[in-house]
Each structure stands twice: as C-alpha cells, then as structure tokens.
Structure 1
C-alpha cells in the first residue's frame, strides 16, 4: 500500500492488515514518521520524535509475528504519548522548561502497557505546561495548531496528542484528562476522546498536576480505535494507591454492540444546565442534531436537571490549583530539573526562587499562587473545603440523574476552536471552555467526546467550518455505556455523510 493510504487508515484497519500480512509494522511506522516530517513543523504536535527507536520496536513486532508469537490486537500500530508520561530513556518535560533535558530512569504503567501490547511509540506529544491550560498555547516550547485551521487552537492540555491524530501523524495517541484535557481537544480536532473512570487506569509515572483528578485517556479517529486502546492501557495497578481493583469494563465488546445501530431501551438524558447562554448557535445546532439521531436509533431522550453543575467551574479552579501547588513543590532546584543562580553566593531559597521564576510559565505560576492561597491558614475551610463540598453535591446530582437515565449527554465545549492568542490575556475566558467537561472530572465518572458535525465561528462568518463534539457521560465503571452509545451514533452519522468524519480533513 502507498504511504498516503496507510496514514489514513483507522487503527483497527491497520491492525487487521498487519495481522493478515498485507503490510509490515516497519512500513506503517515509516509512513507515519514521513508524515511527521512533512507536517509537524507547521502543526507542532510533537516535542520529541525517535524514529530509530520506533522502527526498532516495529521490526521486533514484525519478527514476533513472523515467528508465530501471540500478539495483542494493536501490535505494530503506531502511537504518540503526551509528554506527561514518564518514559525510560526518552526525554520527558511535561511541556515545561523546568524539566528540559530530563531523561527518566523508569516507565509509567500506562506507557509500559502500551509497549507490552506491541504499540510502536513514535514520540512524545506537545502539551500545555504541566497540563495546565485549555489551548496548548502554554507549552514552554511551541504552540500547537489545529489541523482544521492552522490559525486556531487545538484545545488543551493534550492538544499535541489530538492534533497528531487529526493530522494523520499517528493513528492513536494518549493524553491525560484533569478537567477535560482529552475531551476538549478531541472535540476541537474532530476526534473521539475518552476520560475513563478515575482510578480504572494507573497514574503511576504520570507527572502530577491534580492527583484527585488526573486520568490517562485515549484518542482515536473512531470509537472502536479508542476502545481498543482503552482496553490495552487500563486495569488495576498496585503502584497506584487510587487504582480500582476491578475488571476493566468490556469497552471493545460494547463498541461492537453499538455498531449495530440499535439503541432501543437506552435512556439518554440531556443535561439542562449544559446549554443556553454562552453556547454558540452552531455548536447547539450540531449537538441537537446528534441528539435527534440518538432518538432515531431508538433511544429514549429526556431532559435531566443537575442543579449543582453550575458550581463546577469555581470548585475545579480551587481544587486543581490547590493540588498543583502541593505537587509542584517538588521542583525545588535540588533533586532534579533546572537549576538557576547557583553561583556559590546565593542561598538555597534564592536559588529555588530563581529556578522557579525561570522554569515555570505564567499559567503554572498563576495556578500555584491561587492554590497556595486557597490552602493557606484561615482560608482552607472557606475555599478548598467548600470546593470539596461541591464535589459531594455534584456526585448526588449524578446519582439522581443515573436513577432516571443510562447516560447523560451535552455539548463537549460551548464554542468551536477559537483563534490562537484570542484569550491568552483573559484566563477566565479560557477557563469557560471547560464548563461541560468539569462535572465528570470532579466526580470521576467516565465521559467521551465524539464529533457530531461542523459549525462556523460566529465571529468568522463564512470561515472554515470547525468540529463540534458531543459528550456522553456514564456512571462509575460503566465506561462501556459510553462506547455503545458512541459507536451507534458514530455509525449513523458516518452513514448519513457517506464517509468517516475525518475524511473531509484528509482531502484538504
């Protein structure tokens, strides 16, 4: 097959062709490395690419397959890893200058499982520094551009992972979702992105932002691709104290079941509070059309009220910065990472201050300061303590809602991707992009975004239509429900447009 054909195949199709012997993993890997060379100077998806190492991994898979060894369903398929996953012998920076040049001596559990499944790691993808941001403009190295329109953001903080899949540099990638950092860029880049149940996959070796929220999650071009990667990386890990010792939900089987297009008996709840003022007309139109498709597939659709969802934004921006201020205290210029001002005359405190000033970007400093304030004496109960109480109220909202319906749906983001730089000086406006994704993050329930259409930016009438995502939320450890509903909806939408969603982008 021609390289141009290989890079446009889904991961599931690539895996089938690899298993059949129609193509080798070395050929597939080289095709994607060539695409990275061709487009990444413009897109900025990757911070580090190791072609020689990737080709060696691919050759090993090919040798194992030729020897008749049992291989995983994704063996030989390339993948990109967000640069927050610690990778042995490969530079890992978390998008920050303070870790520039650090080569870890160990492997994160999630990346180790990807390697054990035979996936070929192309490199480390760009990200907002320490996963703090919603635009991928906060990377210390370079911004990431949206493949649909290079003047637009890809979403963040896993924007590099999302743009790499959308620009056909890799068929699969991994990100982390703390407040929506997989789902939001998935929506803006026209991909499927999944935040699994918190604790159902390991945080060991994931550089911490907010420990009670950080969740590794997969990106794919299809629901099935995402399900295959989800199963490969998930499961109990004794190295992670928050890991859930329970079987991984059957997400691949659920995606196959959903592909039959029958949602008879499935109860879908539209969240009343996630819509209305502040949501672009085009986004709501595409979302409502997606909901109508769910009805056409046999689902029962009702409106559900979750009255405390409106408190998610202030609660998150107290909890996450508070945890970040504690986690990032380890970057003290002493143990590892950047060290500035060590001229023999400065005190340790002065060296630490100069190092953090030089090594941390503006958004990271902003959140550390906010978190330190919220945790300070006299303010802990008024701010952090109150925000934690909101989590309880949100959990009660979800519990009440799931007594009425099987899944909840909403737009993934209130807007389509906006121009790079549009909100760089207005962090509160940037934070508003997380309105829909934060409730699921704060409670830890699974949630998926998948593309349901295109819409214009109302400020750019006649401009390039941009992707719109629909979010599906399910109860804890019921991740399979997201995949069943998502696969059914995806199949119906692909049939109506006559091609997969990214086919339009492939021919631009």
Structure 2
C-alpha cells in the first residue's frame, strides 16, 4: 500500500468513494506519519491511535453496508485543543486545564460526527489562543514543517503544522485576530475564518467572545469547502449565532476574473518583506492580465487595528478567564491560607506569562477611570473599521492582500518583545474586528523556501463568493506549494 498521507484531501475523499482504499488504511497511514514526524514537529498534545482506528473500522462497516453518513465519512480531521469533545481532555494548552475532561461536544464536533469525520485530537496551540507563534503553549513548542527552527504561526499552529506535515489532510482551528489565517500562510496550507456568527462557538473555550470564530485548515481548497459546509449554520446554543440563509456549497465554482473589482493595498502599506511584496505584485499583475479591475483602497485607518484589537481582546479575556479560579474545575493549588490565597496561587501557577500579561492589560483597560479612555475608545474605533469595510465592499467584490507581512520567523526570535509579536497580526486583525470572512491561500515560496500566503476578504456572509475566488486563485501557477515530505 502506498503512503496515503501524501495524498490531498480531495484524493482521499475520491479514493474512499471509489473503494480504492479503506478508512482504516488511510488512518493507519496518518498514524504512521504522526509516529514518524511529530517528535520533530510537536503538532499534537495527545494522540490515541487505537481509538482513531476503531472509529475508522466503524466507518468502513458503514460504507460496506451502504449506510454512509456522507461522502466525507471516514476522513480523519485534527481538532484544536480549545474545542470540546465529550470525554476528552480540553486543556487549551494550559496547565490550569490540564486535567479537564469535557462533559459535552462542541456544536462543530456534533456536526462533524453527523458527517462521519474521524477525530484526531488534540493539536497544540498558544495557551488560551493567546499568541502568534504557538510558543506560548504550557507543554511544547510546535515547529514549522518547512523548517523546524522556525515557528508555524499561531495560535492554531498545531492544526496548521499537522496539515502541512501530512499528519492529517484537514483540521479545525479558531481565529480571534488571525489565528487560522496567519499559521495557514506560514505553513503553506489553506485556512478560512468565516463570518462571525456563521459557525457556532458553543463548545469553543472563549478567549475574546466578540472576535473568536472556528474555521478549517486544509491541504487543498476542497477540504476547506467541505469542512466549512459541514460546520456552518445556526445554533440555538450560541446566542451570537446568525440566522442568515445557509451556505450552499453548490454555488462555489470556478468563474471568470474578467470585470471583477479587486481591492488592493499599496505595497508599502502592507509592511511586507521584499519576498512577500514581490509575490504580491506578481499576483496583482496576474489578476490584471486575467481581466480583473484592481482598485487601490485607503487602508490608513487600519494602522490603529493592533491597539484597538488588543484592548478589546484583552478586556474580553480578562472577563472570560475569571471563571478559572481553582474552585470548580481545573488546576488547584493545595497550599494553606485564605480563600483569596487559593485564587491567587491557582491562577498564578496555572496561567502562563502571556495569559497573565493579557489579563492584566484587560483588567486595567476595564478599570474605573480608564474604561472610557481605553476600552470605550477602542470600541468606537472598531465601529469605524467596520464602516470602512462596508464602504470598501460598495466599490469592490473582494479584497486581496498578503496574510502575513513576513514568512515564518525563528523560534525564540520575538518572545522577548511582545509588541513585535503582536505586530505579526497587523494584516489579519481588522477582519475579526469587522466580523467579515477571509481566507488565506498558499502563494508559493520565498527565496529560502518558506511559504507565503495571500488573504482574500469578502463582505459578511459571502463565503460562497469568497471560496469561489479562492478556487479561481488556486488555478494560478504562482500559488502552488509542494508540502514537505521529509521533515529535517
């Protein structure tokens, strides 16, 4: 049997449908691949091959008896460690939740189960999704499959690296300020951040509730389309879930670039490295050649996105993480003292430095005397950013820009300078502030062989159009990336 882990998601789906191989054979290939390379990558925090194989055998039995749940029945999918699966550890890569087993399934897990996907939990992440490099995990640092001396991006770096290294063909992550799109770009895979409210957040451990959104990674565009189609839709368990008309996967198709209005940035405004800027210019030229009409947009307001994002996100994280007190669940310090000492010691020892930094910043911005000056002003600026997008989409069909200003940086390069680390999200945070959908698409390699990603952004609930544009961009030879088969 050939190594099936080398196949794209589409080839896996097609081969299962034609009976060329079984789910058990696919799963065994992924297990072999995980055993062979994850010691170098560190994508998974936990891995139970017996359980995954048992699920694969159940899928094969359904296929044999013609009782398939869907065309995707039997395809393994990686799950980020902040998405609850009943009976499984959900630690958010934090010591404070290292012994927490979820009593229920997240809505996205329920939906994926109904389609027959096989779960491969848990992929590593920045603790409580706070980070841009997956160096903030309490347990391990995930590495980039293209160069293990470099980061895979974050906070969903484990999910991105697992796909890029062939340990799964698709995975789930969460995106608060770029945490799907940025690691997708740095690992050379596809990553979609849906419209806020399009995918239920029920069962996603919250970082910043008004910004978080679950979305898929994949080693081809079709995996992102299928997984998004499987998990999207209204959910009564989530009060922020949108009752928009359902996404229709049949409306995602190749079209013509001719006459499409594409919003672009001035290259100098992207703050991109020379290699990323060069590829951006090449692809803008390719779009023009195909008949697209490029319109340069005024992104000057977006220079405020990082401070606005971090004030809002940290304020919400300060509130959300107050529930982790050492009393009801999770880590508890067993030292002697007053009740207040239990809170202080449990949180001090349970949370990592970056989480504590953001809690302190958020608590400060919400405190008496500072609320209006910082948090209140940030919320007003957020409204302006949202209105800016609304004006953009009156003039263009979608926006085309780099996902990350640089390719993957070295492990440890920015850990001592939080501001430089935060600036890694400069091209992605506005999408979350406005709640619009965006996808990072592979866009080739730079001069030292590291992936570059390009981001497409469309208006609220226009995922059908957005994914069609991504499908069309996939036809350009400049976007092709061969994922690494050998991890050095």
1:178-237 per-position Cα deviation (integer Å, ceiling 9, x unaligned): 000000000000011000000000000000000000000100111111111110111110
2:317 equivalent to 1:324: yes
CA contact (8 A) 2:445 2:481 kept: no
Provide the alpha-carbon RMSD of the alignment. 1.4
Shift of 1:306: 3.1
2:263 paired residue number: 269
2:399 equivalent to 1:408: yes
CA contact (8 A) 2:232 2:247 kept: no
Shift of 1:251: 4.5
Q: Sort the Cα spacing of 1:472 and 1:66 in 2 relative to 1 into closer, same or farther, 3 A.
A: same
Matches within 5 A, 1:337-352: 337-342=330-335, 345-352=336-343
1:70-112 per-position Cα deviation (integer Å, ceiling 9, x unaligned): 4312111111000000111111100100001211111101112
1:502 paired residue number: 482
Matches within 5 A, 1:183-202: 183-202=181-200
1:314-363 per-position Cα deviation (integer Å, ceiling 9, x unaligned): 10010000000000000011000000034xx4111101101111110000
Distance 2:100 2:431 in 1: 33
SS in 2 for 1:397: helix
TM-score, scaled to structure 2:
0.97
SS in 1 for 2:46: strand
- Number of residue-to-residue matches in the alignment: 487
2:355 equivalent to 1:375: no
Distance 1:412 1:290 in 2: 13
2:475 paired residue number: 491
1:281-325 per-position Cα deviation (integer Å, ceiling 9, x unaligned): 111111221222222333221211133111111100100000000
Shift of 1:170: 0.3
Shift of 1:247: 2.8
Aligned counterpart in structure 2 of residue 291 of structure 1, from 284, 293, 304 = 284
CA contact (8 A) 1:266 1:300 kept: yes
Unaligned stretches of 5+ residues in structure 1: 457-463
Aligned counterpart in structure 1 of residue 293 of structure 2, from 300, 314, 320 = 300
**Which is further off, 431-440 or 13-22?**
13-22
Aligned counterpart in structure 1 of residue 271 of structure 2, from 268, 278, 293 = 278
Unaligned stretches of 5+ residues in structure 2: none
2:208 paired residue number: 210
1:459 paired residue number: none
TM-score, scaled to structure 1:
0.93
SS in 2 for 1:389: helix
2:472 equivalent to 1:481: no
1:60 paired residue number: 58
Distance 1:367 1:176 in 2: 18
Shift of 1:277: 7.0
Q: Sort the Cα spacing of 1:490 and 1:436 in 2 relative to 1 into closer, same or farther, 3 A.
A: same
1:23-79 per-position Cα deviation (integer Å, ceiling 9, x unaligned): 110110111011101111110000011211111111111111111114312111111
SS in 2 for 1:219: strand
CA contact (8 A) 1:11 1:74 kept: no
Distance 1:299 1:249 in 2: 25
Distance 2:386 2:97 in 1: 36
Q: Sort the Cα spacing of 1:208 and 1:232 in 2 relative to 1 into closer, same or farther, 3 A.
A: same
Aligned counterpart in structure 1 of residue 83 of structure 2, from 70, 82, 85 = 85
CA contact (8 A) 2:69 2:114 kept: no
CA contact (8 A) 2:152 2:187 kept: yes
CA contact (8 A) 1:227 1:252 kept: no
Shift of 1:246: 2.0
2:35 equivalent to 1:25: no
Distance 1:23 1:263 in 2: 38
Q: Sort the Cα spacing of 1:252 and 1:275 in 2 relative to 1 into closer, same or farther, 3 A.
A: farther
Distance 1:65 1:297 in 2: 43
1:353 paired residue number: 344
**Which is further off, 387-396 or 131-140?**
387-396
